[in-house]
A and B are shown apart, each in its own frame.
Chain A
Amino acid sequence: MDNKILTAADGMWLTNGDTFGKTVTLPPLADASVWYEITEEEKLKREEIKYENQLESTN
């Protein structure tokens, strides 16, 4: 089986809800359906929320 490579469209990012990237290389048996596209703006918002949560956890 071959790897599946997902590539985000221009201006978009791929995410599985946890991490973000422009390309995702999936091993043969991984589920591609957990990955979806979001805009740059949405990515920045989600990263900010994640960062705030991590910062909160350090206290």
Chain B
Amino acid sequence: MSIAEKLTTIAENQQKVYDAGYAAGQAEGGGGGLDEFWDKIQNYGNRTDYSYGFCGKSWNDDTFKPKYDITATAWDQNNVFSMCGIKNLTAICEAQGIKIDLTGAMRCTGMFSTTDLTHIPFLDFSVMAPGTQTTTAVFQNSFSIKRIEGIKVSREGVLKYDGWFTNTMNLEHVLFYGEIAASLNIAATPKLDEESVQSIIDCLADLTGQATQTLTLHANIALSDDQKATISSKNWTLVQ
């Protein structure tokens, strides 16, 4: 089975889970079907494994109305929102009064990959567990992303940023917090605003006495001499 076929199968299976859960909720709850549906999908707030949880186009701004926090704290949180049709996740989380928690998770590969997302709320990856992590392609191929409210990272929380921003060509704003200690390639984002670029530079770990890491930015991102000096003083290699 090709990768495309696998992804299609996963999306179709997610649609079946969604339909079955909604039907079960309707059968039990009558007028409260939606409430029952989310109680069951999120196990009354006790669910911790959200891998592929909201994968597929059936999840969109009309259907994604979580009742509880997305406590994605089990070790595998791969592809939670992969291929979803949700656009403004920030607005939905605010309206529902919920947040996304990654404390203790070890895998978040493809978590927001290949989506229709335009807005993503603050995400704290610094609380992920170290060890055998896989954190590849977190936002890969989400061509529509414009704004990520914030990303907090740490040396232990994120060991690699491979493919995080591949093809995120419409991303304009993402504030980084914490410490970036591994090579970061955000070269696919020519529209990144100055505040975002500065936040990245501010978060670069001081690697004096350690192996240099690379910061790859789009060639259109104009850096001041001071910014270039800061990058170099922290023993980072700048690639444009």
| A→B interface (CB under 8 Å) | 3, 14, 16, 18-30, 50-52, 54-59
| Cβ contact within 8 Å between A24 and B239 | yes
Q: How far, in angstroms, from A24 to B235 measured CA to CA in the complex?
A: 13
Given contacts A26-B237, A29-B235, A54-B163, contact A59 B136 (CB under 8 A): no
What are some 17 contacts across the A-B interface (CB < 8 A)? A3-B228, A16-B214, A19-B187, A19-B216, A20-B239, A22-B219, A24-B238, A24-B239, A25-B228, A25-B238, A27-B236, A29-B235, A52-B3, A54-B140, A56-B3, A58-B136, A59-B6
| Cβ contact within 8 Å between A54 and B166 | yes
Q: Across the A-B interface, give the 9 residue pairs with the lowest CB-CB distance, nearest first.
A: A58-B110, A21-B239, A54-B163, A25-B238, A27-B232, A30-B212, A54-B137, A57-B136, A19-B216
| Cβ contact within 8 Å between B136 and A18 | no
Which residues of chain A are within 8 angstroms of B212 by Cβ–Cβ distance? 26-27, 29-30
Question: Which label, helix, strand, loop or mixed, suits the secondary structure of the B interface?
Answer: loop
| Cβ contact within 8 Å between A25 and B232 | yes
| Cβ contact within 8 Å between B240 and A21 | yes
Q: How far, in angstroms, from A27 to B136 measured CA to CA in the complex?
A: 27
- A46 → B minimal CB distance (Å): 13
Q: How far, in angstroms, from A28 to B216 measured CA to CA in the complex?
A: 18
Interface digits, B66-92 against A, CB 8 Å rule (1 contact, 0 not)?
Answer: 000000000000110010000000000
| B→A interface (CB under 8 Å) | 3, 6-7, 10, 78-79, 82, 109-110, 113, 134, 136-137, 140, 162-163, 166, 183, 185, 187, 212, 214, 216, 219, 228, 231-240
Q: How far, in angstroms, from A36 to B137 measured CA to CA in the complex?
A: 26
Q: How far, in angstroms, from A51 to B163 measured CA to CA in the complex?
A: 8
| Cβ contact within 8 Å between B140 and A59 | no
Which residue of chain A has the shortest Cβ distance to B6 in the bound complex? A59
Q: How far, in angstroms, from A54 to B238 measured CA to CA in the complex?
A: 23
- B184 → A minimal CB distance (Å): 9
Which residues of chain A are within 8 angstroms of B110 by Cβ–Cβ distance? 57-58
Which residues of chain A are within 8 angstroms of B3 by Cβ–Cβ distance? 52, 55-56, 59
| Cβ contact within 8 Å between B214 and A18 | yes
- A47 → B minimal CB distance (Å): 9
Which residues of chain B are within 8 angstroms of A28 by Cβ–Cβ distance? 232
Which residues of chain A are within 8 angstroms of B109 by Cβ–Cβ distance? 57-58
